[in-house]
Structure 1
Amino acid sequence: MGSHAVLWAKALGATVITTSGGARKVQASRDLGADLAIDHRTEDFVAAVREYTGGRGVDVVLDVVGADYLGRNLEALAPNGHVAVISSSSGRVGELDLGAMMAKRATISATTLRARPLDEKAAIVAAVRADVWPFVEDGRVRPVVDSVLPLAEAAEAHRRMADGELIGKVLLTP
């Protein structure tokens, strides 16, 4: 999801700041067009965001981690910023600082495609066709493929996904 988000945001003309784990992934983010790529394993991403934005913060955070980073994501937000949670590998939120949200007039949304009714899914597909597909057609948004493996090596594909070192997708071929 991160690779796609970088490419789409750049196609829309946005300034893109990414966080990645490790030098290889940080470089991949830069190669995709990120204006600033931060290694969350070695750098304080909130401090890096504040420095890069002159203390303002970012307008939108696309969060694929969830609870573990929610507080820090709020710290990185600019006034009137929004956190969009699209995945949660870290479970429930124990505490949410509503005062910090109110002070920044921040909003948080959480969503998944799976739980939506069919008519909403169809509307999302239509919006993707209208708003994303033109960038796919002209090449600004493209699939990022880490590796291609035969179907017989599906267990290896899962291992690679679990180790968190992928850049893009693993494709299985028959």
Structure 2
Amino acid sequence: MRAIEIAEPGGPEVLEWREAPDPRVERGEVLIEVAASAVNRADVLQRQGFYEPPPGAPPYPGLEVSGVVAEVGADVEQFRPGDEVCALLAGGGYAERVAVPWQQVMPVPDGVPLREAAGLPEVACTVWSNVFMIGRLRKGETLLVHGGASGIGTFAVQLAKALGSRVVTTVGTAAKAERVRELGADEVINYREEDFADKVRADVILDIMGAKYLAGNVRALRTGGRLVVIGLQGGRKAELDLGALLAKRAAVHATALRSRPVDEKGAIVRSVVDNVWPLVSAGAVRPVVHAEVPMADAAEAHRMLDSGEHVGKILLVR
């Protein structure tokens, strides 16, 4: 097969479309003939040499794919060759084929084109597990989403609105503000012009910035609020005012998805299929696709992501 390999840590130009060994299908795995993958921040960090794949994962970037089942390993009864699926990966999505534990494989939701389904697994599993399973967002509560125009942000806005919550989000441009309002955001804050902590009180905050936003996030929490940190784009270390947290009886959670064991990912995947896929099939939540780029041109897709001008997901298609 062919896959995108990282020649050496660096910029997008280090991504090369090369011949690579075909994956072997082990017991409990599904081999997927890849139709599309999607670009995530973790792929950029891996390209730069800052985020090695977990032990046993393929060396190629790519945390999600859609495609057709080509083969199933022993003890797999849930899928069969020919099934259209999408999957959450620990790595290896930038390739023509990938083997993945069956627990991380999902049917493509009804009504979603096969290629577009590649933009669902990472955002759906991230948002559902963090906002709803950990953050316990309830109907009528307020969710603050940082980076509302990102793949995760666009999905979180739609899903929270579909389940009856009020949604506030931060963006950096007027054009992005307009797009997230179209997706259902009740309030949009331009972080370049306003301090979000002066504008909103939230029950749950989904944060991709980490250290830079920690103090503001604690200030923006309501009593009993839950801050869930899933990214460190604004740094790793900051001072936490435990007194402020205590006074609000609030909680801070820091989570990662890629490094979780298969059984934990499988539990999230099953919950997503049960709770989120019906909303996707009904059209209440849809993947937001900014662009489709040939997989061989992954470097161009990374340049697009690096520019920060995209809204939603950038797909790599075959």
Per the TM superposition, whether the score is higher than 0.5 is yes
Q: Per the alignment, in what secondary structure is the counterpart of residue 62 of structure 1?
A: strand
2:300 maps to which residue?
A: 156
Given that 2:208 and 2:233 are in contact with CA atoms closer than 8 Å, whether structure 1 keeps it comes out as: yes
| Residues matched between the structures, number | 167
Superposed CA deviations along residues 18-69 of structure 1, whole A, max 9, x for unmatched, are: 00111111111101000001111111212221xxxxxxx1101000111110
**Structure 2 equivalent of residue 88 of structure 1:** 232
Q: Any stretches of 5+ residues in structure 2 without a counterpart?
A: 1-151
CA offsets per residue over residues 45-104 of structure 1, 9 Å max, x none?
A: 12221xxxxxxx110100011111011011111111010111222232231110110011
Q: Which residue of structure 1 lines up, in the alignment, with residue 178 of structure 2?
A: 27
Write the distance in 2 (CA, Å) between the matches of 1:25 and 1:125. 29
C-alpha separation in 1, matches of 2:279 and 2:176: 23
More strand by share: 2
Distance 1:107 1:164, change over 3 A: same
1:42 correspondence with 2:221 = no
Pair 1:104 & 2:255 matched? no
Secondary structure (helix, strand or coil) at the match of 2:270 reads helix
Moved over 4 A (4+): none
Following the alignment from structure 2 to structure 1, what is the Cα–Cα distance between the partners of residues 231 and 153? Answer: 11
1:125 matched residue in structure 2: 269
Asked which structure has the greater CA Rg, the reply is 2
Would you tell me which structure has more helix in proportion to its own residues? 1
Instruction: Give the direction of change, closer, same or farther, for the CA distance of 1:150–1:115 in structure 2 (3 Å limit).
Output: closer
Secondary structure of the residue aligned to 2:238 is coil
Identity %: 53
Deviation at 1:113, TM superposition (A): 1.1
RMSD of aligned residue pairs (Cα, Å): 1.1
Match of 1:15 among 166, 169, 191: 166
Q: What is the TM-score of this pair, normalised by structure 1?
A: 0.92
Give the secondary structure class of the aligned counterpart of 1:16.
strand
Measured in 1, the distance between the counterparts of 2:256 and 2:210 equals 13
